[in-house]
A = this chain, B = another copy of it.
Amino acid sequence: MAQPLVFPSTLQASLKPYLPTPSDTRPHVTLTYASSLDAQISLAPGTQTVLSGLMSKAMTHYLRFEHDGILIGANTAIADDPGLGCRLYSEEAGEVAGYDSQPRPVIVDGRGRWQPKGGRVVRTAADGVGKAPWWFVCCELSTLPQEHIDAVLSVGGKVVSLGGERIQWEELMGRLKKEGLDSVMVEGGAGVIGQLLGQARHLVGSVIITFAPVWLGRGGVEVIPDRNGDGKGEVGRLRDVKWLPMEEDVVLAGKLD
């Protein structure tokens, strides 16, 4: 297993104002991603690109510790096959985050393209190290390969069809709240981030972005939200902004209006 990560308590304190706050109807949604200077998250579609450094990674695990669920889109699940676990080491407790502190993996996959069987999320759950994933699709469940449904169900996960053509974010978040998640950290990819910065931005409570001092150059996967209305004005400005330098990177924390 990869090594535990320490995130200094001073930096933890700086991020406290952006951590989840309780709400009755929906989970607190924290949108988080790592970007190059030219607003790209990877060198090419389907490619995992490591942009940021070790301290930023430790921060990600701190944020995972502080959230009930961790949500990614199908492209990211397929391209990266991430474990979505929390390896935060608490110096206070003298231990690494245990099972109860692991976030619930939520895979958002309108067209049902994820193939969880044999993947890290399912293996981690089978090993009792991580929580079982919840797999949300729009297509009918009968169109999903049975072996992949079985893989998720066999470790105690859920497979749910929301119906419709595209993910309805309001409905999904309401559902996650009902299922017991009071906070959800969204980690990507570009499609999910674009929708949550665009049409579904009213659902987002906090934004935490890491910038690495690198240009990926034209041809990568950009995070550029669509404009509203006449398409002429800016999409949005963050308020309560804090910039936290972390080694070579900087972390931007803020809230959407």
Contacts and interface: CB of A to CB of B under 8 A. Distances in A.
A94 to B, nearest CB: 32
Contacts of A197: 215
A144 interface: no
A15 to B, nearest CB: 15
A160 interface: no
A173 B111 CA distance: 54
By CB atoms of chain B within 10 A, which of A227, A233, A254 has the most? A227
A217 B228 CA distance: 9
Given A241-B248, A252-B37, A227 B217 contact: yes
Copies held by the complex: 2
Chain A interface: which size bin?
A: 35 or more
Contacts of A54: none
A18 to B, nearest CB: 13
A200 interface: no
B227 A214 contact: no
A232 to B, nearest CB: 7
Given A250-B243, A250-B252, A218 B211 contact: no
